[in-house]
Structure 1
């Protein structure tokens, strides 16, 4: 277990920052998601897990509006975002990791974060200006790099980072948008154990300031930092609750627990 990031120390659950009711999606005659209810709350990490073909990616894409639901409602706080486009939802404060996670390999870490800081600082339409024009954003960029443990590498090329550190840089560029809801698709995939522990701790820290949903394979990490867990099977909710509850559910154990095989 990773020290100081346990989900069991969390306070009582706050109001949902992002929620869905009756969320469903059909592709022709195939129903990929059926009647999913989910609440993603501020200051908490909500893990979405399930076996191959469970519908996790579809739910993820529905919540971030890259897919339109066939039925159901999606709320961002008190705002109905069911029919909004992804760009509008992102501007409201909903960020998905691989929507904005691409880094510029030939640029320094600090310049990568400065570029990401342009929109919240009103500079998004000034993309043709030289990087030197972003100098005033550097102090905030350095703060974000420090938060993800990369401040001492601020002037290194992003292309020279290890895989785990590239993912940390992606988190920093995501945080530059000051999101209220952060959705992470397999944030630990492909990492060695040391990087997994570092990134899990970082995600736990980030969740203190926003609501986090993550699709994740690594059950030990879900057990350590996940406050709320939704288990999907064939597009429907199989079990939902804390790790102790879902891991004790015999249906979950049969369908998923104890395996590392996932989509």
Structure 2
């Protein structure tokens, strides 16, 4: 089996003459937790949008499991197993935790195109719902309204709805954004847990989290790869320290 599950060749995106991503050759190893880091404006979220075809590249190619997915519709990309989250929480605030996950499960279960299904039919999803709820630590919040969940729990629910699509590669855009220390520790543990058996690529500003859970790190600067390697390798790179970290990371 090919060690690289997701790769790009010369991936480039320009906006009205501004180059946000420039000739990016990214290789993500199968089964790894891979971080994209860099200063604001480095092109990290743009790369995510390109990988999932929410943006069309100006030039270059994207390969997933050696299949060229450049230009493929975002929904089709997701059906092939490349699924992403967003910086903002994307749950239905007026529905319960259970119902949010039920909705997410309707797509892979073939029920998503139905306008109405009985509780009996939707009840077939409950076993998998319960597994997902347990997996993200929301067993005590099963009937809680999503909009009333604490922020960290809401992000955990979002992770569960993403996992409902059975992704082979999971792209997480700043999963720790806006969280306190306790929530950060909880979500970091969840990511480590869900990474078993799949690949995770994450944009993250919290370098402690990157150091703790990411096996490989790509540092971006002005849309280009500045350095790659383990966290220890990139954190001691003089160019990275100058461009991104500025001071010693403790």
**TM-score of the aligned structures, taking structure 2 as reference length:** 0.94
What stretches of structure 1 of length at least 5 have no aligned partner? 1-12
> Is 1:170 the counterpart of 2:158 in the alignment?
yes
Give, in whole Å, the separation in 2 of the partners of 1:92 and 1:100.
24
Out of 238, 243, 246, the position equivalent to 1:255 is 243
Mean Cα displacement is larger for which, 17-26 or 126-135?
126-135
Out of 167, 175, 192, the position equivalent to 1:204 is 192
Contact kept? 1:33, 1:234, Cα under 8 Å: yes
Out of 214, 224, 231, the position equivalent to 1:226 is 214
User: 1:89 matched to which residue of 2?
Assistant: 77
Helix, strand or coil at the partner of 1:124: coil
Q: Deviations along 1:57-104, whole A, 9 cap, x unmatched?
A: 111111111111111110010210012121111111111113996212
What stretches of structure 2 of length at least 5 have no aligned partner? none
Out of 68, 83, 87, the position equivalent to 2:56 is 68
TM-fit CA distance, 1:16? 1.8
Give, in whole Å, the separation in 1 of the partners of 2:196 and 2:246.
29
Root-mean-square deviation over aligned CA pairs: 1.8
Helix, strand or coil at the partner of 2:245: coil
Runs of 4+ residues deviating >4 angstroms: none
Give, in whole Å, the separation in 2 of the partners of 1:72 and 1:228.
23
Q: How does 1:8-27 map to 2 (within 5 A)?
A: 15-27=3-15
User: 2:47 matched to which residue of 1?
Assistant: 59
Q: How does 1:135-174 map to 2 (within 5 A)?
A: 135-174=123-162
